[in-house]
């Protein structure tokens, strides 16, 4: 079956393609000619995922799923959370976001954080959600070259390497998106 993943983020597509069964033909937004910015105006991660999936179904008529992820930092009452992409401004600059977060946590003892991914799946107009959480902490400086976003400053629980230092296979195994994606896959098998 054809299934649209409502993203053009090549890193995410690569992560998901490595996990999804080959009988599902995964299409990106550019594969279906969707070039516009899909509205993400909900105050919650779950709300944004649902909004994106609904948009593709209503405007393009494809079964699809959308994900929305946030990094929730305990000492910052869950921030940046739903604002993770734009934490340091609308440029969505990963380095600026990390710099701001490290500054906010400067001198704070509690560096606990978690990534949360919500996937909203829209099949013939029926919406289902799956949630994946990865607990960990924020390092004091950036480490590693891999991954994207906040990966260089996120140390997953029970690990000594940041997400940016771990191989993709390990990140998929323990990571928020991998956990949510595996629930999505179980839905189809
Ligand atoms: P999105 O909702 O998936 O676009 O993610 C929102 C923000 O969280 C973006 O700024 C991403 O850089 C960041 N983010 C999402 N997933 C990850 C991840 O796996 N590692 C690090 N940062 C991520």
pLDDT at 78: 97
Q: Which among 63, 59, 87 is positioned nearest to 73, based on CA atoms? A: 87
Residue nearest to atom 13 of ligand 1 (CA): 149
- At 185 the three-state DSSP class reads helix
Q: Which atom of ligand 1 is nearest to the CA of 151?
A: 21
Mean predicted lDDT score pLDDT of the chain: 94
Kindly report, residue by residue over 116-136, the tens digit of the pLDDT.
999 999 999 999 999 999 999
Provide mean pLDDT across the span 51-78: 97
For residue 172 and ligand 1, the question of a CB distance below 6 A is answered with no
DSSP letter for each residue of 87-146: TT-TT--HHHHHHHHHHHTTT-S--EEEEEEEEEEEETTEEEEEEEEEEEEE-SS---SS
Provide mean pLDDT across the span 132-154: 97
Q: Which atom of ligand 1 is nearest to the CA of 68?
A: 2
Dist. CA 83–CA 88, nearest whole Å: 9
Name the more confident of 92 and 115: 115
pLDDT at 11: 80
Residue nearest to atom 17 of ligand 1 (CA): 149
Burial class of 141 by CB neighbour count within 10 A (0 to 12, 13 to 18, 19+): exposed
DSSP assigned state of 131: E
State yes or no: is 106 an active-site residue. Answer: no
For residue 147 and ligand 1, the question of a CB distance below 6 A is answered with yes
85 pLDDT more than 80: yes
189 pLDDT more than 80: no
161's tokens: 């390497």
pLDDT at 164: 98
Kindly report, residue by residue over 3-44, the tens digit of the pLDDT.
999 998 888 888 788 878 888 899 999 999 999 999 999 999
Catalytic residue chosen out of the listed positions 31, 37, 67, 68:
68
pLDDT at 172: 87
C-alpha of residue 82 to centroid of ligand 1, in Å? 10
* Probe target for ligand 1 pocket from 48, 65, 71, 154, with the most ligand atoms within 8 Å of CB: 71
114: β partners: 72, 135
- At 8 the three-state DSSP class reads coil
């Amino acid at each position: 079956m054809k299934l649209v993943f409502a993203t053009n983020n090549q890193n995410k597509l690569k992560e998901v393609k490595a996990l999804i069964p080959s009988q599902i033909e995964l299409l990106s937004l550019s594969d279906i000619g969707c070039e516009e910015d899909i509205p993400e105006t909900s105050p919650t991660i779950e709300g944004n995922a649902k909004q994106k999936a609904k948009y593709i179904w209503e405007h393009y008529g494809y079964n699809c799923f959308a994900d929305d992820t946030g990094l929730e930092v305990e000492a910052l009452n869950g921030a940046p959370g739903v604002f993770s992409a734009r934490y340091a401004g609308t440029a969505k600059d990963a380095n600026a976001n990390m710099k701001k977060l490290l500054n906010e946590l400067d001198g704070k003892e509690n560096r606990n954080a978690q990534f949360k991914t919500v996937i909203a799946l829209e099949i013939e107009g029926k919406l289902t959600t799956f949630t994946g959480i990865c607990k960990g902490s924020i390092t004091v400086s950036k480490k590693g070259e891999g991954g994207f976003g906040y990966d260089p400053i996120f140390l997953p629980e029970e690990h000594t390497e940041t997400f940016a230092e771990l191989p993709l296979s390990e990140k998929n195994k323990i990571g928020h998106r991998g956990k949510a994606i595996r629930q999505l896959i179980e839905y189809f098998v």
